[in-house]
Structure 1
């Protein structure tokens, strides 16, 4: 984490220096010496961080030094981001257009100088000097630990992919699998309508989940049972929510909010009768024998199956499939001896085998493989050493940039489903995929996810092992509070139980960089949101997606979050308005307003969000038009749910020609308004310049806009997938799976 932070700061210093060189008004003065010394210190520290990362595990003093360094690096990155943001503000006038300082007029100069005065109140220079002194002491202290400079782990190459053999059937569990399937499919007359349960018990990494997945997807099981449901039970899910998950699984619904509370109560009432149907089965996996024994007491027909470790021979067979794949005969001979020794270190745990096999497979030189075998990590006195030692080895082999992405995965609670893209957008907001403005950040994020998945790492990132991440379960009422004052929390995920309110106060929220709420039909008071936004001014990610906690409007204090990159309000159905102050969020990259069904309008000054990449308003049925200023969002890559006129250049409503400068668009989901296509608007839209466009999805509010007219409209887009949808109104929203597809054409 520290290494990636230091790299980010060095990059920010370069960016700021370049921007300041272009400005005729300097925002921060008299810090040149501190900034130069800061750069030298960071470069010296950066050279030894790879060595410090590993040595901090057995050496507590190095670990404390790393914590102090990480805290100082976080603070410095925040100050530099504030400085960079202030420079961006100088480029924007009150109406959202670019201000050319070299050819400025008096009114523009006055506005810019006013902004300089506002920035001076932040006293950026003073903060830089204070943190620079802290880093002086940290740089000097590093000499005590005799840290060696060594090259950092290189990033994975662009487009590079690692192919791993499919070992799902090589876990040595064939007989166990067949026995369980036989028991699930067969029943005796004695069982009657009682449910049979099978509890698979074993330690972490022994392959319980993998075995259950193989059985769940076995063709014989799929054919035998009318319905199959997979439910993940964690510490944060109570009995009622487990029952809900089962019911929703039976109904094929992804989110409980598809039903109102009365419908859910009715479904839950029928759950007992449904479960007693003859032939129902439960396959349970658990690490705790007490859970399996409890099932044995509760259920008349319950079997407990301990899942044993694999033999050394089986471990070597699996590991060799991974480590030797794609190698020639000579390489296989050279690797076999050390590979067998490493396989014995796996202690019969399939996950350890897969992790170390994948790690070994990425090494081409004998010394690299010997380093894995002789690592100091094997000597650590840690709980469940058999599984955590291999994971630590794999973790420290990661490039530092991927390492911090992996750690951030601890903000996502176990058992909670997140979209792949959403994880990547979170990483982007935190700056883990590169500096703002870098190209192909999404592609890099997908590569990172694939890289982590190949090593089986994401599911083993625990918030308990990441001091800067807190997952808090809120069980009490609105007068409760979350206390982070004794923690170095930078990321907070709050889980609120049904019927409970978010606390009115979060102590120690000043350093938070991400705030995620996972909730079930609760509300947060307007004052509570005001307090949070006043406290947590360093937030880069605010994710309230599908929480439905916001009633009516969001406080204007949202505009104070000048570092904010990611704002997800998806599914907050009660929001009617957004504050105009949010147009001051010049760093915002991602804004998701999908299914905010009562939202009536977007802020008029939305064009000031010059760094916005993704704007999603799908399912906002009351949002009849976009502001004209949206045409200034020239960095947009995805525009979803926009409604625009095609018949004329409307004075207030967003029209087709206002797409003129949005030349980075890749995806466009658009609803067309107007009785005829205006040729002048088509020409003004300049579709021929939108060379990045990949997909256009079109709906039409007017029957007179026939298919031929629409195809003619988008003709300049070459090689783009064009989809037409008929608008079928369902319940209170347009839901994509329920919309009838007319046809698709490739232009």
Structure 2
């Protein structure tokens, strides 16, 4: 797995070397030619890494070569990070409007000559070591491979249609639900009068193929269809191969003479695609058929359309049932909504586990093992293949210690066969592009059942350089959203909720185990109560337990880039250890000190000159921040949320030239607009439990010209909001502000605010929404209103919101009607209404009086949370 990470590291290094600003600084230091040579050699090594992955098990010396390359790449990253700092200083100077633009002004000011000499020496050393490593690699017989890892995927073994239905546990309801889909007439809305496609989608090992077999072999299918065919499409989606398989399966189903069938299959193997399509049409023409396409990985719509066109020769009522792990593939293929397969219940899982772990009736002799089995089953998260894998590994083994090992260490430490759950899940991982694998590995740093929030994922991946703007201008958050949508499509995420301005999700328990398995401890380490040693090469650390942390436990190398405290209530108590981290890990990029209880942040924090993200959330001891924090010229995110004793923001905060996000809890009565307005890149500002804050700003007419998102939560003394200070505001969230005047009657230029996402919560005094919402009618995409206990009507302008995609209403008990022209909201994709009894009654399917207006909306949820 290390080869994949090395591939990603070399890709990241090449990205830095290719940037214009980086090249400009390199010329200033006189090392441009050396860096270009490093770039060329890295490209060679990057292509050799893929061949090393294939050959490392045959040549033991290759493992040592890979370790050497890893060490060189890490050292190269340190050197290039020094240059990156200079690049960021240069950019900050340009953004600040300084006229001192010559190169000498962004070369290190402490001792430019010494710094230049040190950098030149280090770069020449890296260049020499890389050249030697490249030569050694070719000496091992490695060849350059010009494809990304993960694109040549070893699929699972071919499936077949036979099944012993009596051996299947817990899928009776799913089987009946699918059969009912087959029994229903297909509405030919797209003009296709012969073919309906029913996708079954779910994570690997969930039992999609088993369910398809149960349906395929049900006697009712024989009554419905003249011809049934089963084709496993697990390998590449090759049109000729699939057509050949369909023909062979059709031949198999229509003849009793197996010998003639084999001979027939051999005779057509040499046919070209024209001959095959002609034979296929003759086989299917005039017949009502059922075709199962099992294990689909193809996401190329053109290839799927080509195949589907060839299959449109059966009579009306012919159907295809497809299984896939990908929601996007299911959506592409399906002509009806996908059947999303869920996990088995705990009781069903236990029954399945007992079936595989014991001979019939044998479990009665070992009640103690069955109790352990209950705990093992919980770790399988409803995935039958995981239950079967673990049960089989314990079959006829009554050693208590073996059962406890499986319970405590889980399935990922067991030896796996090709059909077991680890290979089943890893197939989906192997199929990922390189950039997704790198992002996926970070899930391993968090505990199971952790709720991930979009802003934290975006900040983490951006700080570490794993996501770069495409074409130099595309927003990072948009790219990360594409990554998360892709992971969600692959069924790796669950409970995905989109709020317009952000989103949150969880990771399936077995997927979390897979992330731990692929990340390994070389780079990703979770610190828990029994952690005794952290490898020196560790780069990303996560502290999950409140334990006594010894200095000696943490690596002395400077390679650590990330430290997390993701668990609520688990934080750092030792100021001394914090100072050690600061002095030791000078290249750290992401430092999360949430839930800590130190009283002061060391002045030495200024030494973290590469730091991009600093979280000091929910520290109830800290009162002040040192002025030295304002020297962090690369800092993009500063979160002080929940620091209830913090008296004031640090003096000089306007010097944080790169700051993009600022999250505040403070005892201040008023904020300085002039200071915040000096932060030219500030995009998001959050005020949380600022109990003393009465007005946001006083006096100044300055504006926060880059601010796009403003979040105000639980500021009980805040009375009003100067929206005119935020000319580019797109997201506004106001929650639980007891005396806040939402009317904003004195605010003029609201029409210039392109508000897209508006979230309002707990305004019991209002009978209707503020009139200024009318000024956002052309831009609003998300409207969420919660706990308006006296709200009686929605604004008349609602149905003029042509871009509104999501409408969420919760706890508005006096609200009883919708506008009569709701049908005008043609962009509306999501409508949710909870705890508003009368309106919920009118919106329920199918008899509610408003159902005819909202039934067409893609996602409707009424009366349940």
Match of 1:333 among 239, 243, 247: 243
SS in 2 for 1:616: strand
1:332-376 deviations in Å (ceiling 9; x for gaps): 535669999xxxxxxxxxxxxxx993535669889xxxxxxxxxx
Q: Is the 8 A contact 1:606 1:627 kept in 2?
A: no
Q: Is the 8 A contact 1:534 1:557 kept in 2?
A: yes
Match of 1:399 among 433, 438, 442: 433
SS in 1 for 2:42: helix
1:487-522 deviations in Å (ceiling 9; x for gaps): 42111112224xx33334523352111111255366
Match of 2:170 among 164, 169, 176: 176
SS in 2 for 1:101: coil
Q: Is the 8 A contact 1:356 1:390 kept in 2?
A: no
Change (3 A) 1:431 1:57: farther
1:514 aligned residue: 562
1:502 aligned residue: 549
Match of 1:445 among 454, 457, 480: 480
Q: Distance in 2 between matches of 1:51 and 1:533?
A: 39
Q: Distance in 1 between matches of 2:113 and 2:749?
A: 47
Alpha-carbon offset, residue 315 of structure 1: 11
Change (3 A) 1:142 1:336: farther
SS in 1 for 2:34: helix
1:14 aligned residue: 18
SS in 1 for 2:648: coil
Alpha-carbon offset, residue 668 of structure 1: 5.2
1:72 aligned residue: 72
Q: Is the 8 A contact 1:568 1:592 kept in 2?
A: yes
1:489 aligns with 2:525: no
Q: TM-score when scaled to structure 2? A: 0.53
Q: Is the 8 A contact 1:602 1:627 kept in 2?
A: no
Match of 1:411 among 430, 441, 445: 445
Alpha-carbon offset, residue 136 of structure 1: 1.1
SS in 1 for 2:112: helix
Alpha-carbon offset, residue 701 of structure 1: 8.1
2:616 aligned residue: 569
SS in 2 for 1:515: strand
Q: Is the 8 A contact 2:86 2:108 kept in 1?
A: no
Q: Is the 8 A contact 1:472 1:495 kept in 2?
A: yes
Alpha-carbon offset, residue 595 of structure 1: 1.8
1:152-190 deviations in Å (ceiling 9; x for gaps): 24999xxxxxxxxxxxxxx9998526799xxxxxxxxxx
Change (3 A) 1:88 1:704: closer
Larger radius of gyration: 2
Alpha-carbon offset, residue 140 of structure 1: 0.9
SS in 1 for 2:243: helix
1:433-461 deviations in Å (ceiling 9; x for gaps): 12697522222222222323443554311
SS in 2 for 1:141: helix
1:577-625 deviations in Å (ceiling 9; x for gaps): 22222223222232222222222222233233333332222x5455742
Q: Distance in 1 between matches of 2:606 and 2:166?
A: 57
* Unmatched segments (≥5 aa) in structure 1: 157-170, 181-203, 212-308, 341-354, 367-380, 729-735
Alpha-carbon offset, residue 686 of structure 1: 6.9
SS in 1 for 2:638: strand
Match of 1:359 among 294, 297, 311: 297
1:301-335 deviations in Å (ceiling 9; x for gaps): xxxxxxxx959946999x989969xx999885356
Q: Distance in 2 between matches of 1:60 and 1:585?
A: 45
Q: Is the 8 A contact 1:677 1:713 kept in 2?
A: no
Alignment of 1:48-87 (within 5 A): 48-56=48-56, 59-87=59-87
Q: TM-score when scaled to structure 1? A: 0.60
Alpha-carbon offset, residue 141 of structure 1: 1.5
1:533 aligned residue: 582
Q: Is the 8 A contact 1:604 1:627 kept in 2?
A: no
Instruction: Determine which structure has greater relative contact order: mean sequence separation of CA pairs < 8 Å that are 6+ residues apart, divided by chain length.
Output: 1
2:43 aligned residue: 43
State the superposition RMSD in angstroms: 5.1
Q: Is the 8 A contact 1:580 1:603 kept in 2?
A: yes
1:657 aligns with 2:567: no
Alpha-carbon offset, residue 529 of structure 1: 0.7
Change (3 A) 1:722 1:517: closer
Alpha-carbon offset, residue 135 of structure 1: 0.9
Q: Is the 8 A contact 2:672 2:697 kept in 1?
A: no
Q: Is the 8 A contact 2:56 2:62 kept in 1?
A: yes
Change (3 A) 1:364 1:543: farther
Q: Is the 8 A contact 2:469 2:475 kept in 1?
A: no
